[in-house]
Amino acid sequence: AQSVTQLDSQVPVFEEAPVELRCNYSSSVSVYLFWYVQYPNQGLQLLLKYLSGSTLVKGINGFEAEFNKSQTSFHLRKPSVHISDTAEYFCAVSDLNYGQNFVFGPGTRLSVLP
């Protein structure tokens, strides 16, 4: 079964600094990869997704992620964060071979400091 690892449970960063949130998944077979954001007391909002094609994926709010098949990683990056980016970020994988729904990582709490 698939598993998703987000090594950093919390990432504090100063405003306007760059940030990278790491995500690794367990299998290199055909998968779809996603990043979701969750603001306090809200549901999950899709930031970006990788289905196929270019390994660099651009999403909303200035975020981007790079799919690396050999390292089974899908790290999320933003060159300059804002206070409003403070939230929980979840990496998720959908395994095409099993037709199952998402397996989510444990989440990374991004705190942007003034």
Partner 1 sequence: KAGVTQTPRYLIKTRGQQVTLSCSPISGHRSVSWYQQTPGQGLQFLFEYFSETQRNKGNFPGRFSGRQFSNSRSEMNVSTLELGDSALYLCASSLIGGASANYGYTFGSGTRLTVV
Would you tell me how many other CB atoms lie within 10 Å of the CB of residue 39?
Answer: 13
Considering only residues 48 through 67, tell me which ones interact with partner 1, judged by CB under 8 A. Answer: 49, 51
Which amino acid does the sequence have at 10? Answer: Q
- Considering the complex, state which of residue 10 and residue 80 has its C-beta at the smaller distance from partner 1: 10
The residue within the footprint of partner 1, chosen from 10, 45, 61, 111 (CB under 8 A), is 45
- Considering the complex, state which of residue 75 and residue 90 has its C-beta at the smaller distance from partner 1: 90
- Considering the complex, state which of residue 1 and residue 70 has its C-beta at the smaller distance from partner 1: 1
Q: Determine if 74 is a binding residue for partner 1 (CB under 8 A).
A: no
- Considering the complex, state which of residue 12 and residue 106 has its C-beta at the smaller distance from partner 1: 106
Residues 35 and 25 sit within 8 Å (Cβ to Cβ): no
Alpha-carbon distances, residue 6 vs 16, 20, 21 (angstroms) = 23, 11, 8
- Give all strands (DSSP E) within 1-114, no chain letters: 4-5, 10-14, 19-21, 24-25, 31-38, 44-50, 56-58, 64-68, 73-78, 87-95, 103-104, 108-113
Smallest gap from residue 36 Cβ to partner 1 (A) = 8
- Contacting positions for partner 1 (CB under 8 A): 32, 34, 36, 41-46, 49, 51, 90, 92, 94-96, 98-107
